[in-house]
Structure 1
Amino acid sequence: MSDQKPVQSRPVDGRPVDRTPIDRTPIEEAGAEGQPATIKSTERPTTGRAFGPPGGIPGDKSMNFGPSAKRLLRRLRPHRVHVGGVILLAIASVGLSVLGPKILGRATDIIFAGAIGKTLPSGVSKEQVIEQTRAAGNGRLADLLQGIDLIPGVGIDFDALRNVLMLVLGLYLGAFLLSWMQGYILNGVVQRTVYELRSEVEDKLNRLPLSYFDGAPRGELLSRVTNDIDNISTSLQQTLSQLLTSLLTVVGVVTMMFVVSPLLALIALVTIPISMVLTAAIAKRSQARFVAQWRHTGALNGQIEEAFTGHELVKVFGRQKEIEESFAQKNEELYQASFGAQFISGLIMPSMMFIGNLNYVVIAVIGGLRVASGTMSLGDVQAFIQYSRQFTQPLTQVASMANLLQSGVASAERVFEVLDATEQVPDDARPAKVVDSHGRVEFEHVSFSYDPGKPLITDLSLVAEPGQTVAIVGPTGAGKTTLVNLIMRFYELNGGRITLDGVDITELSRHDLRSRIGMVLQDTWLFGGTIRDNIRYGNLDATEEDMLEAAKATYVDRFVHSLPNGYDTVIDEEGNNVSAGEKQLLTIARAFLADPQLLILDEATSSVDTRTEVLVQRAMAALRSDRTSFVIAHRLSTIRDADLILVMENGSIVEQGTHNELLAVDGAYARLYNAQFSGALTGVDEEEGVTAPA
């Protein structure tokens, strides 16, 4: 017997995919066969808590921006060496950039001094010219000349000007190269971080219990795994480098401003607290709206995915109008949330520009007066004005990135909620092993409920001997599928235990347990791939001959040859290019190829025609030989040959025995069996105590 992964008609840790249109009736049963409903109903609440807050969705307000942003940045720690390199390159690049205006101011002084010096008489000193000018009663001009490094009668020193300009060009070129290297390294860090985050989320999903997915709309969960992680990547990529550069630029520029003119520097710094208070006030108002924006995006994605998956049912029942109205409502909610988030956060940029322009005007006026008084050179004023622009520009850039940063942190919060979800009980560090494997399954006083307040299975005991076929029948919601889900350990028991060959299944690793089980569900699930790939999923080590044998035994081979490319025919994820019955045959072939120790069949032939069902039943009989099988069936004629039939009602076994024994008792099984031949209405009426009309 091969030790393969469990073969199912959908992923091991998933429930049957819900393909019902979005606007189904609110009065649904509590899930087929005793399973929790995947859609909220008035009969029972959802069993899982999907994303932290009750109800399965995040609240209108996010968690604090600071802790969330810090947690996101902490994910960069494994790349601290590269991050350190990015910081050093940024410091060097910004350092070269902030030196540029000061040195360029020297070029302005050379030009200005040459232009003024050429107009003065030659042969005299600068001091003599200043004395003559002051003696002539022009003290302001004398003060101006005092602050200029000139030689009377000598024009512009083009050699000195060339040297200064070449130095500035070298500085800016060096700053560009360093900045490019910084961006290249940072891009690698961000992409590796997002890669690791995406992998961590994928691993987390595989560790979450099935109850988590019971309360998680599939489209909403997909939105977190795809859209939100992509948004984190975009936000980190566009904000980290700019934030780092902007902060270093502010520090470098402020330093150079104090070097040039402490007075003007103090005036410029007044804008910092004003800008911080204004930005914080606007950001606080917009953050909650960004969270709402992404929450509504997930809800809209879920509705679209559900509506298009069940498109045929929407058409059949004429629910297009309701779908369109539901879409319009959710689309409007997304529009309002997005508009509010973008509009409010967008106020930061013009506000910062206004403050920067006021700062520019004040510096220009005061700087002009100081040049006129001779206390500052024209080049220094020019440099300071450039610094004031460089000072306000990074603040404006940071403000303009606030909406992107808040959006990224809001997405990070949603992803962190998935990562923080309670995981399934981990396997033992040293799991037990089944030494003598026969396939004996025993339920010992098992109790289980999806909802703690509504017990489903209470004190259930039964034994399935090796090689037996155990059929489980009963009305909808009796707990039949729940029983086999407990064997698979999709859910943890509330009490009692289940043993496999005498070993408690909780002491086995989940992989070891499920590798012994083959499962075929009523809801089929196929991969996007060839028919050969879908069959071989049951046993990847199987040979081509083994695969063909399984296909012939389950009558897949009969219809495959009518397809264009035979076993190489590619089917999509929904299996739309094969019929429902053919899909079910493929899942049966998959289980056949796995050769499992335990076999679970949940209405495995419900979608095939009567003739094919008879043929498949023969194949299933061969498949069930020498292995323990659990068969869930509504058509009782298909399980008459079962070794043991369990009749379940309200989570309890009310009758058990063979087909003939149970008919002889004339109890619950007999009523179910006879109801199939007396008509559905009669069966219901009898169960309700109403006499059906003749």
Structure 2
Amino acid sequence: MINFLREPFGQKRILNKEDIGNKKNKRRANDITGTLKRLWKFMRGEKNVIIFIICIVVITSLLGILGPYLVGQIIDKYFVPGLFEGVGKVLLLLLFIYVLHSLTTLTQSFLMVGASQRTIFNMRYELFNHMQYLPIDFYNRRQHGELMSRMTNDIETLSQTLNSSFIQFTTSIITLIGTISVMLYLSPILTVLTITIIPLLVVGIKFITNRTGPLYKIRQKTTGELNAYIEEVISGQEIVKVFSQEERVIKDFEVKTKNLRDVTFWANLYSGMIPKLMNVLNNLSFTIVAGIGGLLALTMDNVVTVGTIVVFAEYARQFTRPLADLANQFNQVLSAIAGAERVFQIIDTDVEKDHGLIEDTNLKGAIDFKNVTFSYNKDQHEPTIKDISFSIKSGESIALIGATGAGKTTIVQLLNRFYDVDQGVIEIDGIPITEYKRDVLKDNSAFVLQDPFLFKTSIKENIKFGNLDATDEEIIEAAKRANAHSFIMKLSDGYDTIIDEEHTSLSTGQKQLISIARAFVRNPSLLFLDEATSSIDTITEIEIQDALEELMKGRTSIIIAHRLNTVQAVDRLIVLEKGIIKEMGSHEELLSHKGIYYKMVNG
């Protein structure tokens, strides 16, 4: 028996970065055939199930064809001659056929839903897995809502198509072939008359699909843009309210949602023409069969019987129904392919390149920048940082100071290999960072950001995110060192309290202390601080500052400084201006030089 709940591909396999990075012969999904081939690869684990489903579909289709045939035989052999002996058995057989037809229809649907959902699981899983290894630049250049739309809307469209289209498509083809075969057997003349509607059908369907295909692609893209805008406005709701821009965002939303409304209107209008077209052709076919068939039955003996006309009237509907289903499914497939192409575009995006060989290394934290130049946009004339050189000793604390765009964040991103340098070299412990595995840098680094980010889970799990192997004792110790333990214990569920904005009210300072505890439990060699005390009340700022000083002990620390009074105690300050180091030294040294830093401090 087929296990409906078994793991996809027989066993769930967690893809790692190397698996994703080493994919070969990847093809861009830019055509129907190519996309369908790629989709089939996701269904390869369902091969036996699909074969079994096809067998049931064949049986179901044949039963659907056999039913009307028996109806015609009953009319010709029993009702027309007025002979009713034995008709009960035939009627029971007819009842059995229709009951069996219902059971096989239910079975094939049940199995197909299972197979399609396992396939969608595989696809959604690979997409999400792949996204975790894409470079930061990929996310910086795209709206998050648009990416979410690909993970949700596009894959859901594909899911709905797989649930129904495969069975409908297979059933329609088998029914069409079987129906025409029986029709030819019963009356070639009526068969020829019936299929005269095909040219009209082909012209009508081609007219419709030539318009729905492009419209579905536009609709998927427009839906993604609308989702991205909604996500952006929700995330920036404070800014919207502070600057009283409610009317502005409403108008922008109105424009975007009108675009989606219009393209959806035309897509649905054209796709909705298919049933109408099929009804017209179905009525036309029925008229031809009933009119000419009746005329033949009255004027020519033994050419067409009454039972044959009744069967053909039913088969005329069965003939046009699979044609309509094929047209409808093709329409739906076009929409699904439009979504699949968008998903494959992300799956085909190259992951972070990692040619490093050094792994399982505990870094000491000595850093050297040697003539480093870097640009985010390779076409820009002025690089973001230009020919920068400086050294940081292991355990030393450095503050990066400068106006927005000076290059502070860029230096930190280069150190973490979010980007690779254009020229020069960055060394850690005397070894170029490109020779380390990326995971080595990540495992030896921790961030405390200006705006703390916490996941919607327990406080314990948020702290443990810094080190998944941390014990409960280590988590509590980290919280104590971060000055977070006392307020955590005052919460109703302590460390098991779920961080949920609707039910758990934590101040920005408390969230920051939790994020510092997360850095403590990681026990990093390299610490990066994006000034963590902005917009914090004085008492909380003191607690955070104490926690940060404890965290920085014995660690190489780089601070992106926004307020100068918070970085006076660091070992050295680096003053940046337009990507160039202008000054470097301790607080006292830079003040004595009376240069840029002196002017910044004294206003």
1:141-180 equivalences under 5 Å are 156-159=83-86, 161-180=87-106
1:92 pairs with 59, 70, 80, which one? 59
Contact kept? 1:100, 1:171, Cα under 8 Å: yes
1:626 match: 554
1:552 pairs with 480, 490, 498, which one? 480
Contact kept? 1:289, 1:341, Cα under 8 Å: yes
SS in 2 for 1:626: coil
2:388 pairs with 444, 460, 481, which one? 460
Distance in structure 2 (CA, Å) of the matches to 1:228 and 1:576 = 34
Cα–Cα, structure 1 residues 231 and 656, in superposed 2: closer, same or farther, change >3 Å? same
| TM-fit CA distance, 1:256 | 0.9
Cα–Cα, structure 1 residues 661 and 311, in superposed 2: closer, same or farther, change >3 Å? same
Distance in structure 2 (CA, Å) of the matches to 1:417 and 1:573 = 34
1:333-344 equivalences under 5 Å are 333-344=259-270
What amino acid is the match of 1:238?
Answer: S
1:691 match: none
Distance in structure 2 (CA, Å) of the matches to 1:158 and 1:502 = 101
What amino acid is the match of 2:63?
Answer: L
1:448 match: 374
1:218-257 equivalences under 5 Å are 218-257=144-183
Calculate the TM-score normalised by the size of structure 1: 0.78
What amino acid is the match of 1:577?
Answer: S
What amino acid is the match of 2:138?
Answer: Y
Answer with 581-590 or 475-484: which moved more: 581-590
Distance in structure 2 (CA, Å) of the matches to 1:495 and 1:204 = 29
Is 1:588 matched with 2:522?
Answer: no
Distance in structure 2 (CA, Å) of the matches to 1:229 and 1:570 = 30
Contact kept? 1:434, 1:501, Cα under 8 Å: no
2:45 match: 78
SS in 1 for 2:388: strand
2:443 match: 515
Distance in structure 1 (CA, Å) of the matches to 2:454 and 2:147 = 21
Cα–Cα, structure 1 residues 443 and 434, in superposed 2: closer, same or farther, change >3 Å? farther
1:306-317 equivalences under 5 Å are 306-317=232-243
Contact kept? 2:444, 2:526, Cα under 8 Å: yes
Measured against aligned partners, the alpha-carbon deviations of 1:192-233 in whole angstroms (never above 9, x if no partner) come to 110011001101211211111112111111111112211211
| TM-fit CA distance, 1:515 | 0.7
SS in 1 for 2:81: helix
Runs of 4+ in 1 over 6 A off after TM superposition: 573-576
2:210 match: 284
Contact kept? 2:362, 2:444, Cα under 8 Å: no
2:529 match: 601
Contact kept? 1:243, 1:398, Cα under 8 Å: yes
How many residues get paired?
572
Distance in structure 2 (CA, Å) of the matches to 1:596 and 1:584 = 18
Q: Which has the higher contact order (CA 8 A, sep 6+)?
A: 1
1:347 match: 273
| TM-fit CA distance, 1:250 | 0.5
Cα–Cα, structure 1 residues 168 and 624, in superposed 2: closer, same or farther, change >3 Å? same
Distance in structure 1 (CA, Å) of the matches to 2:490 and 2:419 = 41
Answer with 488-497 or 219-228: which moved more: 488-497
What amino acid is the match of 1:476?
Answer: T
1:541 match: 469
Is 1:635 matched with 2:563?
Answer: yes
| TM-fit CA distance, 1:265 | 1.5
What amino acid is the match of 1:526?
Answer: L
Measured against aligned partners, the alpha-carbon deviations of 1:590-636 in whole angstroms (never above 9, x if no partner) come to 11222111111111222333344344333322222222111111222
Which sections of structure 2, spanning at least 5 residues, go unmatched? 1-16, 18-28
What amino acid is the match of 1:261?
Answer: S
| TM-fit CA distance, 1:499 | 2.2
Distance in structure 2 (CA, Å) of the matches to 1:309 and 1:576 = 19
2:574 match: 646
Is 1:358 matched with 2:274?
Answer: no
| TM-fit CA distance, 1:97 | 2.0
Contact kept? 1:264, 1:363, Cα under 8 Å: yes
1:105 match: 72
1:260-409 equivalences under 5 Å are 260-372=186-298, 373-374=300-301, 375-409=303-337
Is 1:616 matched with 2:544?
Answer: yes
Distance in structure 1 (CA, Å) of the matches to 2:500 and 2:531 = 23
2:20 match: none
Measured against aligned partners, the alpha-carbon deviations of 1:430-466 in whole angstroms (never above 9, x if no partner) come to 7213657422122222221111122112222222111
Contact kept? 1:527, 1:573, Cα under 8 Å: no
What amino acid is the match of 2:280?
Answer: F
Cα–Cα, structure 1 residues 612 and 253, in superposed 2: closer, same or farther, change >3 Å? same
Distance in structure 2 (CA, Å) of the matches to 1:604 and 1:514 = 20
Measured against aligned partners, the alpha-carbon deviations of 1:134-177 in whole angstroms (never above 9, x if no partner) come to xxxxxxxxxxxxxxxxxxxxxx1321x22322332333333333
Is 1:492 matched with 2:414?
Answer: no
What is the root-mean-square deviation in Å for CA atoms of aligned residues?
Answer: 2.3
What amino acid is the match of 1:347?
Answer: M
Distance in structure 1 (CA, Å) of the matches to 2:502 and 2:226 = 21
1:185 match: 111
Distance in structure 1 (CA, Å) of the matches to 2:479 and 2:79 = 92
| TM-fit CA distance, 1:573 | 6.6
Contact kept? 2:509, 2:544, Cα under 8 Å: no
Cα–Cα, structure 1 residues 541 and 436, in superposed 2: closer, same or farther, change >3 Å? closer
Measured against aligned partners, the alpha-carbon deviations of 1:542-561 in whole angstroms (never above 9, x if no partner) come to 33333233223222234334
Distance in structure 2 (CA, Å) of the matches to 1:214 and 1:466 = 31
